[in-house]
Amino acid sequence: MTVNQLPTDQSAGTPETPALTGERADLLEVLAKHRDFLRFTTRDLTDEQAGLRTTKSELCLGGLIKHVTAGERAWVNFILEGPSAMPDFSAMTEEDFARREAQFKMLPGETLAGVLEAYDEVARRTDEVVRTLPDLNASWPLPKAPWFQGETEWSARRVLLHIIAETSQHAGHADIIRESLDGAKTMG
């Protein structure tokens, strides 16, 4: 079938998007599942509750979602642009650390709805990149960071697995924070 022969949506007369299958479908399905677990921890909460620390940790539910959003955005930029899309983590200033710390908090004027909307926007962009990226094996050198010692580059596939792992890990943190807040659980 040539490009001119792609099936069309008869009502709109536009080419249909082919169904995503295989590895990319699997990656997006797992990522969507863990995103849903993370989002679910914020159900029925007020903005104030989303900003509460309920454990010894500095973490709050809204801050966790902000952090996951920022991380996913940065890693997708890395997939597309390489290490120039990320800072040199080994040369961070006090101001850089303060900005990073603010990711974990609900700041004045921020709302849970706004935080979730930003997360949804990043998720849509990530999903589109996964669908359209020509090659999941495409690799870039990692940015400078003390925690990347010994590792030199990551493929787009490795970055996506990292995003899934981070989302899953933080969904677990969020579940503990929510249970400490009002006894609600994601599972069980």
CA distances from 156 to 60, 116, 133, 162 (A): 30, 25, 9, 10
Higher pLDDT pick, 116 / 83: 116
Non-local (6+) Cβ contacts of 157 within 8 A are 23, 27, 136, 137
pLDDT number for residue 130 = 97
Q: For residue 122, what pLDDT is reported?
A: 98
Predicted pLDDT of residue 30? 98
Q: Note the pTM of the prediction, 2 decimals.
A: 0.85
Q: How confident is the model at residue 65 (pLDDT cuts 50, 70, 90)?
A: very high
Query: How much is the pLDDT for 16?
Result: 53
Check residue 18 and give its pLDDT: 57
Does residue 188 or residue 143 have the better pLDDT? Answer: 143
Closest CA to 112 of 47, 64, 53: 47
pLDDT at residue 6 above 70? Answer: no
d(CA 31, CA 157): 13
Lowest mean pLDDT of 12-21, 58-67, 75-84, name the range: 12-21
Q: Which residue has the tokens 């990347």?
A: 148
SS3 of the chain: the string is: CCHHHCCEECCCCEECCCCCCHHHHHHHHHHHHHHHHHHHCCCCCCHHHHCCCCCCCCCCHHHHHHHHHHHHHHHHHHHHHCHHHCCCHHHCCHHHHHHHHHCCCCCCCCCHHHHHHHHHHHHHHHHHHHHHCCCCCCEEECCCCHHHCCCCEEEHHHHHHHHHHHHHHHHHHHHHHHHHHHCCCCCC
Mean pLDDT, range 10-24, rounded to an integer = 64
- Give the mean pLDDT of 90-102: 83
**Is residue 185 very low, low, confident or very high in pLDDT (cuts 50, 70, 90)?**
confident
pLDDT tens across 123-139, in order? 999 999 999 999 999 99
